[in-house]
Amino acid sequence: MAAEAAAAGATTAPSVTSRFDEKFLRKLESLVMAIRRTPAGAARGARRSRRVGAGLEFADHRDYAPGDDPRTLDWNLYGRLERLAVRLYEEDEDLSIDVLIDASASMGMGRPPKLELALEVGAALGYVGLANLDRVAVTALGDGAPAPAHARGKGAILPILRRLDGVRAAGRAPLSAAVRGFLARRRVRRRGLVILVSDFYDLGGARAAVDLLRHHRLEVVAIQVSAPDELAPDLRGDLALRDVETGDIRELTVSAAVAAAYVRRQQALVRGLESFCRERAIPCFTALSNQPFDAVVLRMFRAGGLLR
């Protein structure tokens, strides 16, 4: 599928530095205000994760150990079972959010390139989390850079934008391998939310990537980005198509029937991802690279299922 996409829009991702200017920052702030006026967004953005601690809601028991506070002993349990155990409670915890942006070579394809929208959406979602006082990290998968630390507060958006400025669509590893590398470098081991932004062209690898995240007890949101010219490429005749990630070249004749078969495969890929996510209760959103990033993000919050 990456080879087909390369033929549909053989272009290189431009520098995104000019997009992360004062105008972009003003759009981020306007987006946050619009989301707060959205009932679904306000309710979901206010979520906190839960962990065992010293809160008010009872969670479980564990056996008493020397040094435990005697005030936490459950004397009713001791009276029934003669077992010394302390009460454990759930407490609120800041939500840890990781935004993962696929920076593989196929993301540089399309007019405009998919990576451009992916970076803007990733930055916007990171800013929404920071504005909500959640702990946020935005990571480009495949660029080989160390995993950034989670940050908090609106001021943290500037270092995030500086890092994203240098991201290019050059990764060649499967999405599952890139996610595995992220998990190995991830500094925070507690449960949290992961938003994965990709074209998901490697559907088998994409499914493995999502399952890897779920195996690590992370909640997942999938955002699938396509380019308009990938949906129905205007290609005919004898062509040599090169896979941008493997370098493999395939010669073929693109007739009307072949073009129609490609469109069906493209649609099947999107439907397959949506079905896969639906079976696992994973929110899944689609976007086109020519859509404004703020409209895309606002649509996600209005639809519900994001930061729930």
List C-alpha distances in Å: 188 to 19, 47, 66, 178, 236: 30, 19, 29, 17, 50
pLDDT value of residue 237 = 87
Strands 96-102 and 135-141: parallel
Percent of the chain with pLDDT over 70: 81
List C-alpha distances in Å: 39 to 46, 126, 303: 11, 20, 10
What are 19-37's pLDDT values in tens digits?
Answer: 688 899 999 999 999 998 8
pLDDT of residue 146 exceeding 80: no
Q: Residue 248 has which token pair?
A: 């493999």
* pTM of this prediction exceeds 0.75: yes
pLDDT value of residue 169 = 92
- Average pLDDT for the chain: 83
Q: Which domains does the chain have, with CATH numbers?
A: 2-47+95-303 (3.40.50.410), 50-92 (no CATH)
> Which has the higher per-residue pLDDT, 46 or 283?
283
pLDDT of residue 65 exceeding 50: yes
pLDDT value of residue 143 = 66
pLDDT value of residue 45 = 42
What are 195-254's pLDDT values in tens digits?
Answer: 999 999 887 788 999 999 999 989 999 999 999 999 888 888 888 888 777 778 888 888
Taking only Cα atoms into account, the Rg of the chain, rounded to an integer number of angstroms, comes to: 23
